[in-house]
Structure formats: C-alpha cells, structure tokens
Structure 1
Amino acid sequence: MSKLEKMFESPIFAKLQEWGGKVQSNKVIASISNGMMAIMSLVLAGAAFMIIATLLNVAGVLETTDQVYQWLCVPYNMTMGLISLPIAFAVGYSYSNALGMKGAMANGLVTMILFLMVAAPSQSVTLGESTATMIPTQFLGGSGIFVAMFLPIISVRIIKFCKDKNATIKMPDSIPPYLVDSFANIVPLVINLVVWEGLSVLCQVLMNGATLPALIMGIISIPLSGLTSTPGMFVLLAISMLAWTLGLHGQGIVSVVTLPAMMAAFGTNAELVAAGQPTVFFPIFAFMLATSAGGAGNMLSLAVCCLRSKSERLRAVGKAGLVPAIFNISEPMIFGTPVMYNPLIAIPMILNSLICMGFVFLGFSVGFFQNPYILILTPLPVGLATFLASMAWQNVLIPVVCFVIAFVVYTPFVKMYDKQCLADEEAANEQAAA
C-alpha cells in the first residue's frame, strides 16, 4: 500500500469522508447543491459568450465600447448577472421534491418571485418627462446567491406547514393538476408575501433603503475593515474562500476592503512608472494573484482533477468547467462540483489558496515577481492577465505555481469525493435496473 493510499485510509480522512457524506445527504444541503447544478447550463452559456468577447478584445478586433462587444456581453449579463433568480427557483423546486411535496414547479415559481421581491424591489424612476418602473439588478447576480439559497428553504417550509395543517384552498378532482397546485398555494403564498415583504420593508426603513441581501452583505463586511496589512490579506483571503463555500459571493464580501486597496495600489504604481521611478509592493497584490489559476480557489486545478476521476458526473463537470477556468471564470466549477457545503472540496479550496498566497508573497519578497501597475478587470486567459498587468515575463509563472500547488492539494480530496460520487452513481444505476 502506497503512502497516499495509507493517508486515504487514515482515521482522519475516513472521518472527513463520513462527514462529507452526511452533509451531502442532508435534504437542505442536497437541495441547495442540486439547485446549483441545475443552473450549470446557464453559467456555461454566459461564460462562452464572455470568452468570445474577451478574445476579440485581446486580439484587437473589438473595443469594449463597440456595439458588437456589448451585444456579446448581453448573454453573460443575462445569465451570470441574474444568476440568483434561477437559483431561487431551482432550490425551491428541488427542496419541494426532497420533502415529497406536490406542486414543486409552482413552489419554485413562488420562491423565485419572493426572492425578486426582497432583492430587487421595484422603483419609480423619472427619465426626462416620463416616469418608468424599474428594478435594480445589483443583487440578482452573485451578490444575492446566499439569500437565493435560503429564502426558498424557509418559504417551502412555510408552504409545507400550511398544507400539513390544511390551510389551503381545495379544488375538485376534475380541475387540472396545475390549477390545483396554483390554488393550493394561495394561502401559503399570502403568508410568505407578508413575511418577506415585511422583512424587506423593515430593512429599507431601518437601513436607509437597503435590501435584505444588501443588509446581509453589509453585516458580514463590517468586521473586515482595516485588514490591509499582509497578515490581514491572508485573513481576507480565508474569509473570501470560506464565503464561497457557504454560498456567499466571496469577492463581494471582502470588496469593501480589497477594492479601495487595489485602486490605491495600482494608482500609486502607475504614477511611479510614469515618473520613471521603481514600483512598490502592496499586500493586495498577493491577495489578487493567489487565485490566478482559474479564478476563486484556482479552479483550473480542480477541473483537471475532475477530468482524471472515475465518476461520470465529476468528469462531466471537469469538461464543462475547463475552458471557463482557463479564462479565470470559476463559477462553472464552483456550482458544478459543487463547492458549497461540500467539505471534501471546500477544505482544499481554502487551503490551496492560502498556500499559494504564501508562495506569491515569497516571490515578491525576494524580488523575483514584479509589482503590477496596469489595472486589468477583464477576464483573460491564465497567465496573460498577470503578464499584462506588470509587463514582466516572471509574473507568467505565478499561475503556473498556483496551478501546481492547487493540483497537489486538491488531488487527495477529489479522490475521496470521487469514491463517494462513484458509489452514489452505482447505487442509482442498480436502483434504475431494479
């Protein structure tokens, strides 16, 4: 037996695998995971158009201000930009099925509308001489995922409670099923509307117009202010990765600290380069570059690990997420694996990011990696963004180092998860055959 196999058979890893199995078998967690995987096609379709737009921009064919570039970005904006909406539907639908409820489709529609109500309440906007009703989209994308996951859980529970207590409108058997489901949901829908609209109005009144997702993001970001030192950046990175594993938009959570620090650092170095002076190192650089091999959590390494798995589902996720990860788009792998509430993937995601940050910081400390001074916010292929930001060939090696470290860290955990997925697939095949 090899050392690696002995490590897999150790009590710690066995306990971890058992814990992971229990977490994934929980109805709430399983419904969230299924909901996340259900929107994979939307994520991939949007990412494909963003990749095409980025390639044409890098090749000099299109500028970001060109109409064609804007058209190519529309599918991405309408998928990833509104991704919390289908998540709210998919989780509500999945959880209804997990509880054995009838009318799962109707429940999913209800949870989606409830989420839209609390995340993007309509506003009257005056444009010239006319007044239009519009909805803000700020929290319909990644920033609203946390609420989009748990609002459906609570809402479906309210619906189930009402139905268990017969607090519903019953229809004759001759009525079509979809109408029966719709009328059966009227009473629990009214209760849900009162609960969630009440919370939404309370947030807006007490928090100067803030929505429920904004309040949650704001509360979480309060303790993060002031963490601009090197140790602070390690803490921020750990919080950011942990947030992703809990269904929160990690980058959005820590952006209250990282965005001002990033703008100041790049601004300072750009001025120094323009004046012909040497650039200086800022801790935010190590934070940004620690996940340069496929986006948050270095998902390119995870995609390659999944491609080497025996599980059909993991191989399919690896194939689907590989190209987006090459362009540093991490969502397909994050949602497809999934990372959320999955300790076998969450632990190495956090661990590899912190180790990579340590190596990146070391590379800057010895003067090998060069300080960036060109701020690039467009998704670019692995290695290209790190080169263009600094115009230094050494920085092309940063994602290479991150890829190797992340691959080594992910491998044993993915092997355990692969066994778990393979066992689930075999059990499902046996049940289907029976």
Structure 2
Amino acid sequence: MSKLEVFLNNKLLPIASRLQQNKVLAALMEGFIRTSPITLGIAFITIIGNFPIPAWIEFLTKIGIYPHVEAITNGATGVFSLYVVYSLAYSYAKQLEANERNSALISLASFIMLMPQSISTTVMKDGQQVTQAIGALKLDFLGGQGLFIGMITALLMTRLYAFLSKKKMMLKLPESVPPMVTQSLSPVFVVTLIFVLVFILRVLFGFTASGSIFQFFIDVISAPLNSLAASPLSIIFIVELLAILWFFGIHNAVLQGPLGMITMTMIVTNIGAFQKGEKLPFLIPSVIYMGMYAAGFMGFVTFFMIRSKSAKMKQLGKLSFVPSLFNITEPIMFGMPIILNPIFFIPQIFTQLIAGFITWGLTTTILPITLNPTMSLLPWTTPTFVKMPLSGGLNYTILMIICMLIGIMMWYPFIKIADKKEYELELAVEQENKKESKLEHMKDEIQA
C-alpha cells in the first residue's frame, strides 16, 4: 500500500494540482464547498424525518409532522440547484475578476428563465376532472434533475458577463453616483444582451419534442436506458453510469426514471415469486445492485477523513460521518468535494465497477445468496450494513464485507493523497500567518 501511495503521490498528485489550477475547475470546487453548510445543516432533520423504521415514518405522518419534514428538506435539497448556480457563478466571477454579485444574480435569473414555468394538474370543473396548466416551477428541475444545467448556466453566463463587461459596453455614470447604484445600473446593456440570448435559447428548445433544455437533457441521457431490461450487465452498466455522472456533477435524479423502472420491476417480481415460494427471477441482478451499493458506501471514507492530519478533512469527516451511515452522501460529495476533483476520479469511477463483476462472479460460483426481497422496501435511509444482513443472512453479509473492503482498498490511498495535499496547504498558510504576525510585531516595536 505504501508503494502505491508513493506512486500516486509522484504521478497523480502533480497532474491533479495542475488541473485544479484551471479556473473552471477551481470555481467548481469552491462553489461546491460553499454549499456544504446547506447539505450538512439539513442532514440531521433528514435522518430523523426518514429514520429507517416504517412505523416511525407512519407516526410522523399521522401526527402531521412529516409534511413539515419534507418542506424543510425540499427547502434545502429540493431547490439545491439554485444554491449551486449562485455559489458557482460567484466563485467563477472571482476567478475572472468580474463583479461577483452581478454574475451570481444574472446566472440565477437565467437559470430560472430557461425553466418550464407551468405544470399540468387535474382540477374539478362542472363536476368533471379536467387537465389544466397552472403557473409554477417544477421542484424536480430546481433540485437534482436541474443540477447539471444549473452548473452549465452559471459557468456560461458568468463567462459571457465577464467578457462583455470588458468590451466597454457598461453604462457610464457620473462619479457623484454612489458605488452601489453604479454597480447595479452600469451593466444594464450587458444584462439585456445576455437575457436576449437566454430568450433565444429557451425558444429553440421549446420547439423540440422535450419542450425545454431541462427535459431535453434528461431525455438524451435516459433514452438509451429506457429499453434496458433487468440483467446483470444492465445493472452494472446503470450503476456505473450513475457513478460517472455523479463525478461530473450530474445528480442521480436525472436517471431516476429508467433506474426506478428497472429496480421496481426487480423488486415487485421478486416479492411475488418469494410469496409463492418460487425461485426469484431477478436474484442475481438484485444482489449485484446491492453489492455495488455496498462498495459505494461512504461511511469508511468519512472514517478515514476523521483520522486525517488536515484540519479541514478531519472536521468535514466528523460532520459527514453520521449522514453517510444513512446514505446521505451530498455533504461529502460537495464538501470535499469529490465532484470534479481529479484526485478522486479513479475511486469514484472504478470502485463500484470492480465490485459489480466480483459480486456477479462470487454469487454464481462459491457464494450463493438466498434473498428476502421484501427487505428492499425498507426506507432509503436504512444503513447498508443493516439492510443487507436482514435481506440475505450470512452469505449476503460476507458479500457485503467483501464489497466494502473493495471500497476501502480503492479509496484509502486517494484519501491519503488528498490529506497530504490539504495538510501541506494548511502548513503553508500557517507559516504565512506567522510571518505576517512577526512583521506586525516588529512594526509595533519600531513605532514604540
């Protein structure tokens, strides 16, 4: 392991450092880190509100508390794309030396302008149910499904604003005008031009079958998967695709349609066969899915972070540990960040892929699994180390441990590399602060 760490430090770290100097990547990393208070702050309420005991959720619903839990969760993660757009545009504008607040507000406005602003609903009219369009923003596009479009919008609009601002298109105001007013009014021509381009883009995508850039993106990504049937290869392909897209900031919600269709087909069919005492038709795909899920368990990643030398990683690990146990990964994905971080490309992309094929091989040879598919209906916050033993007993537990060990072996050296890099940066900042403090002390002595 030490030889691997040395190799990765000598070969990977310099490449990752050069990539992180890129203004877009630097802005993405800073923008995601700035959103971490939201994902960390909501984690406790999400865990309590979705605690993996069905009777608890039923109790909260009965006493009228659960809708408020959902409201708080939606206020954070349900509109998370809004926070990412603002934060990312702000960070990128700083890299480009443009006005941060103007860039962030323009990007946020452009994002909402591109979004569908009506939804269909069923209402009663003259005693009959009729479909009617009402003015509203779809929460899906404000959350995970709109995240990637939000990132692109923030980067492009900020870059365009910075470019046009330097082309002497800003409105000149007298020096007597207060700076706050000048900053607000001077970019009026630039902003008008940007919004005209946004209007054209919205109209063009409105002529497509999808109707909007958001739905167009989802259709393009999910279309090839809609025809897939549940099989070992299709499950490996889809879960691996999720890992790849997640690295590039495309939330799993984008594929919830085809993935949900396949997984629910497996669950319902398996439960029906289980109740009849028949062989489970989708046993192997279901086991592979959970094996890959176990390899992607982030609890051990946060555990390694807690034991880091870097103060940043240690603190983030402590804050993310409990949420990660309950499958809430956003704090670490955005807080580290893992998304678009070159250091974590290999473990994020290859861990679950390796686990998928190993699970397939073990399950069909030396480690047969007897599965209780009704356990698949447990809430999504049920910890993996609880769900898998309950679902398949000893052999399933052994498989879970093997898959988690694969995850540990894949992530550990890269966490060490990231820790080393962060620790060196913190030492450099500490030394710089000491020098500045010493200079200030010397100045005070001279003045005295």
Tell me, yes or no, whether TM beats 0.5. Answer: yes
Aligned-pair CA distance for 1:368: 3.8
Partner of 2:404: 403
TM-score (norm 2): 0.86
Mapping 1:5-404, distance limit 5 Å: 5-10=2-7, 13-55=9-51, 57-58=53-54, 60=56, 62-63=58-59, 65-66=61-62, 67-101=64-98, 103-122=99-118, 132-209=134-211, 211-227=212-228, 228-249=230-251, 251-293=252-294, 297-365=296-364, 366=366, 368-374=368-374, 375-376=376-377, 377-387=379-389, 390=391, 392=393, 394-404=395-405
Instruction: Indicate if the aligned counterparts of 2:388 and 2:397 stay in contact, CA closer than 8 A.
Output: yes
Counterpart CA distance in 2 for 1:252 and 1:173 is 50
Look up the equivalent residue of 1:348 and give its one-letter code: P
Change (3 A) 1:354 1:293: same
Counterpart CA distance in 2 for 1:346 and 1:178 is 43
Q: Which runs of 4+ in 1 moved over 6 A?
A: none
Counterpart CA distance in 1 for 2:59 and 2:392 is 21
Instruction: Indicate if the aligned counterparts of 1:258 and 1:284 stay in contact, CA closer than 8 A.
Output: no
Aligned-pair CA distance for 1:108: 1.0
Counterpart CA distance in 2 for 1:307 and 1:399 is 23
Classify the secondary structure of the residue corresponding to 2:141: coil
Deviations 1:362-415 (A, max 9, x none): 453245433342242532123233355x36465345543333221121111111
Aligned-pair CA distance for 1:287: 4.6
Look up the equivalent residue of 2:91 and give its one-letter code: S
Classify the secondary structure of the residue corresponding to 2:314: helix
Aligned residues: 424
Aligned-pair CA distance for 1:165: 0.7
Change (3 A) 1:410 1:367: closer
Classify the secondary structure of the residue corresponding to 2:282: coil
Aligned-pair CA distance for 1:259: 2.1
Change (3 A) 1:203 1:347: same
Counterpart CA distance in 2 for 1:426 and 1:409 is 27
Instruction: Indicate if the aligned counterparts of 2:81 and 2:143 stay in contact, CA closer than 8 A.
Output: yes
Instruction: Indicate if the aligned counterparts of 1:92 and 1:108 stay in contact, CA closer than 8 A.
Output: yes
Counterpart CA distance in 2 for 1:409 and 1:96 is 35
Look up the equivalent residue of 2:27 and give its one-letter code: S
TM-score (norm 1): 0.89
Deviations 1:218-276 (A, max 9, x none): 22233345454323332322221111111111x33444443222111111111112223
The alignment's C-alpha RMSD in Å is 2.6
Aligned-pair CA distance for 1:348: 0.8
Change (3 A) 1:399 1:177: farther
Counterpart CA distance in 1 for 2:119 and 2:293 is 39
Instruction: Indicate if the aligned counterparts of 1:46 and 1:76 stay in contact, CA closer than 8 A.
Output: yes
Change (3 A) 1:345 1:166: same
Counterpart CA distance in 2 for 1:432 and 1:303 is 29
Instruction: Indicate if the aligned counterparts of 1:363 and 1:369 stay in contact, CA closer than 8 A.
Output: no
Deviations 1:178-202 (A, max 9, x none): 3222213322222221222221222
Aligned-pair CA distance for 1:345: 1.3
Counterpart CA distance in 2 for 1:402 and 1:176 is 62
Counterpart CA distance in 2 for 1:403 and 1:325 is 14
Deviations 1:32-62 (A, max 9, x none): 1111111111112222211001228446474
Instruction: Indicate if the aligned counterparts of 2:248 and 2:340 stay in contact, CA closer than 8 A.
Output: yes
Deviations 1:323-350 (A, max 9, x none): 1110011111111111122122121122
Identity %: 24
- Comparing both chains, which one has the higher relative contact order based on Cα–Cα distances under 8 Å and sequence gaps of 6 or more? 2
Counterpart CA distance in 2 for 1:373 and 1:414 is 35
Instruction: Indicate if the aligned counterparts of 2:305 and 2:313 stay in contact, CA closer than 8 A.
Output: yes
Instruction: Indicate if the aligned counterparts of 2:231 and 2:282 stay in contact, CA closer than 8 A.
Output: no
Change (3 A) 1:53 1:394: farther
Larger Rg: 2
Counterpart CA distance in 2 for 1:192 and 1:398 is 54
Change (3 A) 1:236 1:314: same
Instruction: Indicate if the aligned counterparts of 2:301 and 2:408 stay in contact, CA closer than 8 A.
Output: yes
Look up the equivalent residue of 1:152 and give its one-letter code: A
Partner of 1:418: 419
Counterpart CA distance in 2 for 1:78 and 1:108 is 19
Deviations 1:123-159 (A, max 9, x none): 5868557985211111111121111112111111111
Unaligned runs of 5+ residues in structure 1 are: none
Aligned-pair CA distance for 1:422: 1.8
Instruction: Indicate if the aligned counterparts of 1:125 and 1:133 stay in contact, CA closer than 8 A.
Output: no
Between stretches 121-130 and 78-87, larger displacement belongs to 121-130
Counterpart CA distance in 1 for 2:164 and 2:224 is 39
Deviations 1:258-315 (A, max 9, x none): 3222111111111112223232334541453134449xx3211211121121111111
Change (3 A) 1:348 1:208: closer
Change (3 A) 1:122 1:159: farther
Counterpart CA distance in 2 for 1:399 and 1:212 is 40
